[in-house]
Structure 1
């Protein structure tokens, strides 16, 4: 059963958030620390005070409620999604999947341009926001992909495309493997490629620089990733109890993973962080790092890749082409990890370029 859904956060939850922010117990900071020890204290205090006294959740809640929200239950899990139908009844459907620490609202600025040509389904990953929390383990990218296939079946789409970045990219490629007879293609804006000394490939200077960056990242695993992959419940206690902790945890990712030239507004970032806080899904969202297997079945359907210069890493095409049937490759000198929020014009155009030739959802 699919039911309409409306966001309505209890006022008591907003009052509790403001109260907790007002009673924050701040740590000290060494002089001239900058980013050397983590998120700078002065900037975090500025964000926390704005979250408490200036940011208007109700205004953003009203904006979000202008979208058509729905919920359903799949494998016992509550699933939230936005479903925007194109004016073209024969349009191809696309399922767009966010990552961590994002949410469905990553795609707000691509809905209007994409819905001209496509029906859009934008779910919240199980354990995230209004699809959370999860109450059992095992919600990895493959299981989520199976849930997405069931969701698209319930919505009546026999053929569709999938798009995503971060975990959304992994879920989308897994969906191509789970339902290749239904998925016409997959478009991703994040595709990790691991160095392979036995590949026997010749790399350009650009590729070698990218490989060096990837090797450095592999040798110096980000602390957030290690904590969420190894002990998501432990870090969940801190993030679920302290709004400033949740704020610093996610705001640091926005600071490090975005293009300095394509700034995401504090309001948009705080709306994303508020979704984690108000739904108490810090721990359940972190479990995806723990539960996802290192290897999944290869994606057999056509793959389009958009590479953004300021992402965490950039894909190395010769390595990617050994693993995926890549039919489209674009590179952009603007944009970072949150491409749909940072450069929605570039991402929407690239998605349209990849999917339009693949035909409407009715073509079997």
Structure 2
């Protein structure tokens, strides 16, 4: 790094977000699809919250989980995208040190919360498909609230040490972060101290997410697939598998880039920096855009209520009573 990009300081007042290194000339054009995805995420997730709040028949555990996911996606995308767009379009690349640590907390905290919500939704699908007659008695509203509180507390407590550790390090190398946002390892790497504890703790968080959350989701879907293949007709199996398969794709779009970004930030020194940064933005951009489409538009009750809202034709929202195993996954459920 050149001398103009370095400075001698121990308590930086601001950091400089470089954006996507190597693609600076294309920032204006890259911001266009980023802005489009952000707009879809904002509109789609607010639409889910609005419809669930307005429609009493949607006041059920499965839709509460959808609302939790929508709020998480709104916070996760809003904590990064406005600053990224301001950087790309208006060259507003400075960020206050405290604001940087706050952004770091929100990024990693709500990523952990989203992972926990995916676990809760996998549990809901497992109960709905494998034990449909007991679904309402197992997943009560009070249990959903408790699950939501545990997810939020787990994410907050697990991530809180990251900004606390980052704040205590002395910074004397540079205040330039070669990234679009304040990722933990990219900030800590600027410190002139032994920061192995931050690196090890980051790996611990990653192992919790993939060792626990992904394992539970995998086990749930193994049971779900067994239930799907036991359905009586081929058409029911294909329809249910197709719908649940789209959910697996959305979950993969969240976990795979997260794993890739976390590992390459530590070990992918030979990989071009712009590839690392671009992939790390995928899990902040794509899931918030896809989730309201997959979990909202493809959910029959929400789709019908949305059509009714726009067409004003009084489309009747089908009630959830008497749903079969297939309908719980395809229509009235997920």
Is TM > 0.5 for Structure 1 vs Structure 2?
Answer: no
| Bigger helix share | 2
Q: TM-score, normalised by structure 2?
A: 0.30
Rg (Cα) greater in structure = 2
| Bigger strand share | 1
